[in-house]
Amino acid sequence: MSKIEDVDIIIGTDNKSKILDYINEYRLTNKKLNKVKNIMTVREFEEMEIDHYQDKTRAFLKIQDGCDRFCSYCLIPFARGPVRSKRFETIIEEVKNLLKMVIRKLYYQEYMLLHMGKTLAM
Ligand code: SF4
User: What is the rounded CA–CA span in Å between residue 114 and residue 111?
Assistant: 9
User: What is the rounded CA–CA span in Å between residue 4 and residue 105?
Assistant: 42
pLDDT value of residue 36 = 92
Q: Is the CB of 82 under 6 A from ligand 1?
A: no
User: What is the rounded CA–CA span in Å between residue 74 and residue 70?
Assistant: 7
**How far does residue 72's CA lie from ligand 1's centre (Å)?**
9
Q: pLDDT digit string (tens) for 24-41? A: 999 999 999 999 999 999
Q: pLDDT digit string (tens) for 18-28? A: 999 999 999 99
Span(s) in the chain for CATH 3.30.750.210: 43-122
Strand partners, 9: 33
CATH code of the region 43-122 = 3.30.750.210
48 neighbors 16 (Cβ within 8 angstroms): yes
Mean pLDDT of 92-106: 81
Residue 102, pLDDT > 80, answer: no
**How far does residue 111's CA lie from ligand 1's centre (Å)?**
7
Q: pLDDT digit string (tens) for 42-80? A: 999 998 887 777 777 788 889 999 999 999 999 999 999
pLDDT value of residue 68 = 92
Task: Choose one of 110, 111, 113 to mutate for the ligand 1 pocket test, by most ligand atoms within 8 angstroms of C-beta.
Answer: 111
